[in-house]
Structure 1
Amino acid sequence: MKARTALLVLIVALLGYLAFFNFASLAQDVPMSLGFTEIHGPLGLVMLALSALMAAIFLAYVIAMQATWLLEVRSHNKALQAQRELAEKAEVSRFTDLRGALDDKQQQLEKRLMERMDALESHLKARAQESDNVHAAYIGQLEEQLRGKKPEQE
């Protein structure tokens, strides 16, 4: 319990204690002046009733302030939740965009790699064909030399 709450509870308890044990004095009829007229009545009970009315009004004021504060906090929480959801959607969108960009980049790299591999393959085929032709020519020369014909004599 907070110190202010404890102090208020102590004051209310003290007022109740004094009112209970001095009720006879509070209920005595005395002349009361209202400024423009004079009436007879229990001044102590009137003062106690006015104090209770003031306490009730302050209590209602505090409850109204708390209710207003709670509604405001609730409104702020809803706005915060909406902002949080918006941020999460934006983050998901960024991840989706990043995923798409990475997929595009990967496809571009794969295309370039395949083009390069095709170029290397065609170059390799050309070199292999050239090598086959050179070897065939050497074999042809060797065959002619083995048969006894020299290619220079023709």
Structure 2
Amino acid sequence: MRIVLVIITVVLVILAIFTAANWSVLTIPTPLSFVAFSVEGPLGVILLGVTLGLTLLMVAYALLLRTSWLVESRRFNHRLEEQRELAEKAESSRIIALQELLEQEFEDMKTSLQTLSASGLARIESAEKALIKTIEENSNGIVAQIGYIDDRIKGGSESSNT
């Protein structure tokens, strides 16, 4: 864009120098025909005026395009910012929902773990009681057998003493 501006400026400066150098030739009155009528005037000045008018129209058009581009760009940026905000809100609501879901799942897991732990402890206590009962029964049986054997030994030694 800068190069185009430099080229346009150089061309306008060259045109100004050319006009200044040939001003006397440009201002010579000549007969001009406009198909329906004729007028006498300086052809060079008229063509220079038309050239300057077209140049001004081109500059105005370029400014209009630039302005409309800037307005459109600003509008797109505004829409983009709105969409970005909507996306951030949606993302934050999804994160909050995920966090709530995870908290609920962890709470459910904690409850399940406590239930399993309590039932496991109850089963361990039940197994412990059964084991104690079995040990007591076995120890009573062993004591009874030892007593029986002891009685037989004592009974056998008493019969050998008599």
Smaller-chain TM-score bracket: 0.7 to 0.9
Query: Which residue in 1 is equivalent to 2:39?
Result: 39
Q: Does 1:57 align with 2:62?
A: no
CA distance, structure 2, for counterparts of residue 91 and residue 54 of structure 1: 54
Deviation, 1:135, is 6.2
Instruction: Give TM-score scaled by structure 1 length.
Output: 0.80
Query: Which residue in 1 is equivalent to 2:86?
Result: 86
CA distance, structure 2, for counterparts of residue 120 and residue 38 of structure 1: 118
CA distance, structure 1, for counterparts of residue 63 and residue 69 of structure 2: 10
Query: Which residue in 2 is equivalent to 1:117?
Result: 117
RMSD over aligned CA atoms reads: 2.5
Query: Which residue in 2 is equivalent to 1:6?
Result: 6
Structure 2 residue identity aligned to 1:9: T
5+ residue gaps, structure 2, are 148-162
Secondary structure of the equivalent of 1:40?
A: strand
Deviation, 1:55, is 0.5
Structure 1 residue identity aligned to 2:22: N
Deviation, 1:125, is 2.9
Percent identical pairs in the alignment equals: 23
Structure 2 residue identity aligned to 1:100: E
CA distance, structure 1, for counterparts of residue 111 and residue 18 of structure 2: 96
5+ residue gaps, structure 1, are 146-154
Instruction: Give TM-score scaled by structure 2 length.
Output: 0.77
Secondary structure of the equivalent of 2:31?
A: strand
Aligned length: 147
CA distance, structure 1, for counterparts of residue 96 and residue 33 of structure 2: 82
